[in-house]
Amino acid sequence: MKKRITLKDIAKNFNVSIATVSKALKDSHEISPNTKSKIKEYAKLHHYKPNVTALNLLNKNTKTIGVVIPNIMNTFFAKVFMGIEHIASQKGYQLVSCISNESYEKEVKTIDLLKHGHLDGIIISLAEETQVKQNVTHLKNTLNEGVPMVMFDRVSDELECDKVIVNDLEGAYHATCHLIKSGCKKVALVSVIDNLSVGKLRVEGYKKALTTFNIPIEERLIVRIGHHEDFDTVMKIILADKSIDGLLCLEESAAVNVLHLVKRMTYKIPEELSIACFTNGKLLQHLSPSISAISQHGKYIGETAAKMLIDRIENEDLPKPCETKIIKTSLIERESTKQF
């Protein structure tokens, strides 16, 4: 990269000191108007830009936020990212972004890299593997070192920091209630994310809804499918029970797969089988039939997280207790559930 012009270069050109140049460019009153304009003009002509690295070293802040996201192909995370980006750029922060790819090891490496990088704070959602391992010492250390951190969606109780989460329990509760109220007699739940904190909470919400309607909870109807199991096979077995007429899917891919399957099985949707699903992406919207979804307001979550972090960074002197913001979900009714 071509050497950029520095204060020193400008100073040399005019035979003045570096300090004079610095002050002149800052429009300081202690510099004569004459010198000021000379210097400014020269600086502009030569595209002078202060060296941010030097300023960072001086100020001990970098106006940079590290963002760790499990998977950017996931609509929800992409939306959150947009939200973070929106606020960050508005407040003059840059984003150093890392994709953990759901891997514990990559997450640890990433955090290490980020800590090296002297950034002002971190926004993170845990990798799936990290939630399975339940090992968050890398983050605990980060926190201990005083790095401001905000977690979102996939959080850990062991970490004492600001958090932004969705009311997963309530979201599942409302969706299940909706299925029941629309006439479903037997609602099953399909989860491929039982590893995740949010997955567990959603199951709770489902159970709560059944209880509300005095429907006995049948563990058999809570279908947890692991990564290495064949989705269709497991589902066919459970759907052998023809009295199942409602399905709560805990994330997009489950709903998509289920839909393909039951269409092949010539189910009538929503009459014979109603489906509701977490995460509101384009996919659910455009399938036929379109699938009723629980929107988690990803962009808003990202914006909230970014605001919380920046607030903490810029007000470190007045420490506040950690806060957990809970974002309400909303149910978007589509063709896969019955009107009532």
Partner DNA sequence: ATGAAAGCGCTAACAA
Partner DNA sequence: TTGTTAGCGCTTTCAT
Output the CA torsion 253→325→93→104 (10° steps): -50
Partner from a second copy, DNA, none contacting 146, C-beta within 5 to 8 A by type = a second copy
Which part of the chain contacts DNA (CB under 7 A), choosing from 17-25, 212-220, 270-278, 312-320? 17-25
Main-chain phi, psi angles of 68, to 5 degrees: -115, 120
CB 201 within 8 A of CB 171: no
Closest CA to 168 of 331, 329, 330, 299: 329
Decide which of DNA, a second copy, none touches 23; Cβ closer than 5 to 8 Å per partner kind.
DNA
Query: Considering only 23-31, 131-139, 143-151, 303-311, which stretch makes contact with DNA by CB under 7 A?
Result: 23-31
Distance CA 147, CA 144 (A): 7
What minimum distance in Å lies between the beta carbon of 81 and a second copy? 6
Helix and strand totals (H; E) in the chain: 14, 12
266 binds a second copy (CB under 8 A): no
Identified binder of a second copy from the candidate list 31, 87, 209, 287, rule CB under 8 A: 287
Residue 46 CB, nearest approach to DNA (Å): 12
Q: Which of 158, 218, 272, 316 binds a second copy (CB under 8 A)?
A: 316
132 binds a second copy (CB under 8 A): no
Task: Using the rule CB under 7 A, give the single segment among 6-14, 187-195, 212-220, 246-254 that binds DNA.
Answer: 6-14
Positions 38 through 57 that interact with DNA (CB under 7 A): 48-51, 54-55, 57
Distance, in Å, from the CA atom of 148 to the CA atom of 162, rounded to the nearest integer, reads: 9
Which one of 1, 2, 27, 33 is in contact with DNA (CB under 7 A)?
Answer: 33
User: Which residue among 132, 215, 261, 283 contacts a second copy (CB under 8 A)?
Assistant: 283
Residue among 44, 41, 43, 63 nearest 52 (CA): 63
Query: Positive or negative, the Cα torsion across 87, 93, 94, 100?
Result: negative
14: exposed, middle or buried (Cβ count in 10 Å: 0-12, 13-18, 19+) = middle
Quote the longest CA-to-CA distance of the chain: 90
The stretch among 2-10, 92-100, 219-227, 311-319 that binds DNA (CB under 7 A) is 2-10
Total residues found in the chain within this entry? 340
Q: Which of 45, 23, 104, 21 is nearest to 70 (CA)?
A: 104
Binder of a second copy out of 102, 107, 120, 245 (CB under 8 A): 120
Shortest Å, Cβ 335 to a second copy: 12
Amino acid found at 305: A
Within a 13 Å sphere around the CA of 5, how many CA atoms are in the beta-carbon half?
15
What residues numbered 24-63 form the site for a second copy, per CB under 8 A? 47, 49-54, 56-57, 60, 62
Residues 6 or more apart whose Cβ sits within 8 Å of residue 143: 149, 159, 160, 161
**CB of 84 closer than 8 Å to CB of 67:** yes
Of 32 and 89, the one with the shorter C-beta distance to DNA is 32
What minimum distance in Å lies between the beta carbon of 128 and a second copy?
16
Residues that bind a second copy (CB under 8 A): 1-2, 4, 47, 49-54, 56-57, 60, 62, 64, 72-73, 75, 78-79, 81-82, 85, 89, 92, 94-99, 106, 109-110, 113-118, 120, 141, 145-148, 256, 260, 263, 282-283, 286-288, 316
Residues that bind DNA (CB under 7 A): 3, 6-8, 15-20, 22-23, 25-26, 28-35, 48-51, 54-55, 57-58, 60
